[in-house]
């Protein structure tokens, strides 16, 4: 009888522990776990609302900057979105209201990202050897002294 | 069990006196077993109910987006990439990617009979410089890289807490609230597309801009790409140009021997690229 008591105690402890784990698990595992798969299902909704879209595309600039937009659309930079050289629209406009100045990178390094002659670019893409193309000092917004970035062909 | 001292004057306890105590204990144990057993059955039942609900869950999100109606896929035409790094910049700004990390990046491959050279300075964030090579290059090209959003995801399989997952519309994502930052997924990804955020210490990766594509916008990298190297499409839409490319062109995938079934397809991918 004495031995049986020991067995009972051990079994009791195991059962209590198991029950504690299962009940604790019930509290710790989020309700949405398993609803859409083996993860916290409502995270999909959180991801959808994670942040407001910052980039809005070139079309969203046209209503206010019609002349620039038309010049760009007619020139060789027509496939370059405004937000490539400027910043994402959200820095400038939120909820249809202007919230701050739109930054722009006018430095020659920004032009060089696409047009500096380097290994790797497709041959037919317009590229220049900076040191040969720029005869004055290679600094600042030197490219914009001759080229209009919205319609860069001279 | 009963260690209380008994008065010496009292006679030894008769057996019938102990019997109710034993019976009570037996009853208690029996009841305890029933309660725990019941709890187990109940919890199992709850899980089963949850999983049966999983077959027909309400579409999440609302706002006119139903993930059953989309299956996203991505096409990268490496022959068009000029290595400007606009995609890397846009991704950083769109998703607040921390300094020193990238969710998408561009690699440059320069090769010739005499050797090969691969670089990706800061992931291509500031473009690429000219490089002197010790050999005469015969071909050179850029390869944009990112999460391949695999169907058979190694990263999701190793996650011990269910924080990594793949949605019905085919996007692999991380639940930052559940992630414990163990980094197994970072090591499991054969494409190196995950990293641990230095502040939150949770896994981060490309989401194909889930906050944008669920609103009908393109991912930021696709939005800014000046040469249309990158494109995201919907495999459930019959008139989708990306679906047309995948179904009709000769596309390749990265590291196909790993059988991860990437949903990022490449056009004009060189054998040098891994």
Taking only the tens place, the pLDDT of each residue in B19-36 is: 555 666 667 666 666 665
ipTM attached to this prediction: 0.86
Could you give phi then psi for residue B71, rounded to 5 degrees?
A: -145, 105
Given CB atoms, is B211 within the 8 Å cutoff of chain A? Answer: yes
Confidence of residue B2 (pLDDT cuts 50, 70, 90): very low
Q: Do A54 and B214 touch (CB under 8 A)?
A: no
Spatial distance between the Cα atoms of B167 and B71, rounded to a whole number of angstroms:
9
pLDDT tens track for B96-143:
999 999 999 999 999 999 999 999 999 999 999 999 999 999 999 999
Residues within 8 A of A (CB atoms), B 212-271 only: 212, 214-215, 217-218, 220, 223-224, 226-228
Write down the mean pLDDT value for chain B.
Answer: 86
pLDDT, position B147: 97
pLDDT at residue B8 tops 50: no
pLDDT, position A91: 94
pLDDT tens track for A92-130:
999 989 999 999 999 999 999 999 999 999 999 999 999
pLDDT, position B9: 46
CA distances from A63 to A66, A80, A89, B128 (A): 6, 18, 13, 35
pLDDT, position B47: 53
For the beta carbon of residue A88, count every other beta carbon within 10 angstroms: 22
Spatial distance between the Cα atoms of B4 and B145, rounded to a whole number of angstroms:
76
pLDDT, position A150: 96
Concatenated DSSP letters for B211-272?
HHHTTTPPPHHHHH-TT--EEEEETT-TT-HHHHHHHHS--B-TTGGG----SEEEES--TT
Spatial distance between the Cα atoms of B181 and B197, rounded to a whole number of angstroms:
9
pLDDT tens track for B251-267:
999 999 999 999 999 99
Q: Do B54 and A35 touch (CB under 8 A)?
A: yes
Say which residue the tokens 């692999």 belong to: B172
Residues within 8 A of A (CB atoms), B 44-73 only: 46-47, 50-51, 53-54, 57, 60-63, 65, 67
Higher per-residue confidence, B200 vs B12? B200
CA A83 to chain centre: 12
> Residue B121 in contact with residue B248, Cβ under 8 Å?
no
Residues within 8 A of B (CB atoms), A 45-84 only: 45-57, 79-81, 83-84
pLDDT at residue B273 tops 60: yes
pLDDT, position B40: 54
DSSP bridge partners of B164: B174
Closest approach of B9 to chain A, Cα-based (Å) = 26
Given CB atoms, is A1 within the 8 Å cutoff of chain B? Answer: no
pLDDT tens track for B211-228:
999 999 999 999 999 999
pLDDT tens track for B233-242:
999 999 999 9
Residues within 8 A of A (CB atoms), B 148-207 only: 162-168, 173, 175, 177-178, 207
pLDDT-flagged residues of chain A (< 70): 1
- Show the tokens assigned to B57: 């869950």
Q: Do B226 and A81 touch (CB under 8 A)?
A: yes
pLDDT, position B25: 66
């Amino acid at each position: 009888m004495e031995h049986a008591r020991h067995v009972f105690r051990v079994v009791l402890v195991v059962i209590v522990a198991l029950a504690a784990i299962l009940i604790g698990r019930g509290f710790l595992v989020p309700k949405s776990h398993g609803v859409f798969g083996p993860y916290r299902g409502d995270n999909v909704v959180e991801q959808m609302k994670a942040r407001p879209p910052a980039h809005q595309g070139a079309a969203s600039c046209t209503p206010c900057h019609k002349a620039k937009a038309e010049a760009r659309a007619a020139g060789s930079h027509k496939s370059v979105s405004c937000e490539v050289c400027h910043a994402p629209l959200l820095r400038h406009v939120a909820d249809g209201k202007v919230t701050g100045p739109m930054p722009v990178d006018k430095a020659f390094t920004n032009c060089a990202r696409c047009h500096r002659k380097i290994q790797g670019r497709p041959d037919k893409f317009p590229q220049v050897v900076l040191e040969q193309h720029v005869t004055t000092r290679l600094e600042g917004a030197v490219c914009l002294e001759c080229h209009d970035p919205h319609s860069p062909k001279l | 069990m009963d260690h209380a001292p008994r008065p010496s004057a009292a006679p030894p306890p008769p057996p019938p006196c102990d019997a109710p105590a034993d019976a009570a204990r037996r009853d208690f144990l029996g009841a305890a077993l029933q309660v725990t057993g019941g709890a187990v059955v109940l919890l199992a039942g709850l899980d089963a109910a949850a999983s049966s609900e999983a077959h027909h869950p309400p579409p999440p999100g609302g706002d006119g987006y139903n993930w059953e109606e989309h299956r996203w896929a991505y096409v990268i035409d490496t022959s068009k990439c000029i290595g400007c790094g606009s995609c890397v910049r846009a991704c950083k700004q769109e998703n607040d990617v921390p300094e020193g990390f990238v969710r998408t990046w561009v690699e440059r491959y320069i090769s010739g009979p005499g050797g090969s050279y691969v670089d990706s300075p800061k992931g291509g964030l500031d473009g690429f410089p000219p490089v002197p090579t010790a050999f005469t290059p015969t071909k050179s090209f850029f390869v944009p890289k990112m999460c391949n959003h695999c169907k058979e995801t190694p990263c999701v399989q190793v996650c011990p807490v269910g924080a990594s997952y793949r949605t019905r519309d085919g996007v692999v994502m991380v639940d930052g609230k559940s992630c414990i930052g163990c980094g197994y997924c970072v090591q499991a990804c054969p494409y190196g597309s995950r990293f641990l955020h230095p502040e939150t210490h949770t896994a981060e990766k490309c989401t194909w801009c889930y906050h944008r594509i669920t609103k009908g916008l393109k991912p930021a990298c696709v939005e800014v790409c000046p040469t249309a190297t990158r494109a995201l499409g919907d495999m459930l839409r019959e008139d989708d140009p990306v679906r047309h490319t995948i179904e009709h062109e000769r596309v390749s995938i990265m590291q196909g021997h790993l059988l991860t079934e990437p949903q990022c397809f490449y056009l004009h991918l060189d054998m040098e690229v891994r």
